[in-house]
Amino acid sequence: MRSELSNDLVTVISPKAEKLNQKSHYGRMENEQLELSLIEALYLLDKEKISIFSKDKELSREEMTGIIKDKDLYSKYLVFKDLRNRGYIVKTGFKYGSEFRLYERGKSPGEGHSDYLVNVISENYDLNVLDFSSYVRVAHGVNKKLLMAVVDEEGDITYYNVEWIRP
């Protein structure tokens, strides 16, 4: 499926685009077009589900990866890819101050609530205790579990399940 890169969105204009949204829960439908984030678009490019064009020039995987890296999204892409490959549905968590919302296998947006909020940090990131506390409070306040995804320099990911405990 052909798609078009414009700013920070990739738009798919195809009758098959709705299937990607309805069945596989990628992006969001807007005016009969599927709008994908850069992260989703690179993932679908990797899976050979879409081709991405910018001003009639087809972008290679390396070019799209370069765009992701330039926007400092590569570690988030690695986490997105890992979670999708494990069978989870991954949506934006922007509304909750997180990178992603995560739906358990078998659940999907519109049929229930997400189970997790996912925050992505690099292993060298100095996590402020007040920021960490706010992540935990928000997750607890919206009845979700918090996953901290720590990405090391080799691109390996370690997940930490953080829970609120009352002493």
DSSP 94: G
The rounded distance, in Å, linking the Cα atoms of 89 and 109 is 8
Please state, as a whole number, how many other Cβ atoms lie within 10 Å of the Cβ of residue 101.
22
pLDDT at 111: 72
Contact 14, 2 (CB under 8 A): yes
Name the β-bridge partners of 151: 122, 157
The rounded distance, in Å, linking the Cα atoms of 67 and 23 is 27
Banded model confidence at residue 81, pLDDT cuts 50, 70, 90? very high
Residue-wise pLDDT tens digits, 10-51? 999 888 888 888 888 899 988 889 999 999 999 999 999 999
Least confident among 77-86, 127-136, 145-154: 127-136
The catalytic residues are 103, 113, 144
Residue-wise pLDDT tens digits, 109-142? 777 688 899 999 998 888 888 888 888 888 887 8
For the CA atoms of 56, 57, 63, 68, the dihedral, rounded to the nearest 10 degrees, stands at -10
